[in-house]
Amino acid sequence: MNTLSPTPFSLRPSFGQFLTLDEAAAMLNVSKRTIMREIARGKYPRPAKVGRTTRTTLQDVETYAASVRR
């Protein structure tokens, strides 16, 4: 039986925290490829390179989600 438990508060993203595109996609319930297409179209803010990874912020995810809901 697979039950989902709430994410512990210490593991939840906080405002200004960097997220991977996979994490952002999971929060938006879309694929990583969808986010990449939206970035290319200029609909999603350009992510930042942090080391070898590409990261976005929680604020960017929330702003994009709000714009899609309109």
b/e string for 44-65 if b means 16 or more Cβ within 10 A?
Answer: beebeeeeeebbbbbebbeebe
pLDDT in tens, 9-45: 445 555 568 899 999 999 999 999 999 999 999 999 9
Q: How far from each other are the two terminal CA atoms of the chain, in whole angstroms?
A: 37
The whole-angstrom separation of Cα 16 and Cα 50 is: 14
DSSP 55: E
Answering whether pTM is above 0.85, one says no
Bridge partner list, 56: 19
At residue 53, what are phi and psi to the nearest 5 degrees? -105, 160
**pLDDT over threshold 80, residue 70:** no
